[in-house]
């Protein structure tokens, strides 16, 4: 619990004001396909059944503690969900468990789906 306490203490005005904790859709476009970055989808199985992102590792948030070993520590992890909330929880959980290179996607899965329409996709 002390690791989580330290993580939360560091989340001050400067931390959130810098934006270093998050990644935008534009940032996602820039790193997609780069093997150093791993997108971690923490949505429920029911959600992924209807909208999936084949470039992402899917581990539902409630399974993350038991499946943490599937998330490599040598990659830069970007967490996401349908509304940012669970992604932020996964982000904090990973930091508290020793992951140093983590960001949360600051967009919803709907925003992500929009990025893969023909126009935006062609710009990638």
Query: Of the ranges 73-77, 107-111, 117-121, which is most confident?
Result: 73-77
Chain segment 17-26, per-residue pLDDT in tens: 888 889 999 9
CATH 3.40.190.10 fits 2-7+18-117, yes or no: no
Q: Closest Cα to residue 70, out of 103, 107, 41?
A: 41
The residue ranges of every structural domain in the chain are 2-7+18-117
Instruction: Quote the mean pLDDT of the chain.
Output: 91
Residue 35: C-alpha distances to residues 31, 39, 62 (Å): 9, 10, 26
The answer, as to whether pTM is greater than 0.85, is yes
């Amino acid at each position: 619990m002390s690791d989580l306490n330290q993580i939360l203490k560091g989340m001050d005005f400067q931390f959130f004001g810098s934006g270093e904790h998050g990644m935008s859709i534009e940032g996602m476009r820039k790193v997609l396909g780069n093997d150093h970055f791993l997108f971690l989808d923490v949505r429920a199985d029911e959600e992924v059944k209807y909208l999936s992102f084949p470039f992402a590792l899917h581990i539902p948030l409630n399974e993350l503690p038991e499946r943490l070993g599937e998330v490599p520590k040598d990659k830069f992890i970007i967490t996401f969900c349908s509304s940012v909330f669970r992604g932020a929880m996964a982000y904090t959980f990973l930091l508290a468990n020793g992951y140093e290179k983590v960001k949360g996607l600051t967009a919803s899965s709907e925003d992500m789906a929009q990025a893969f329409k023909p126009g935006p996709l062609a710009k990638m």
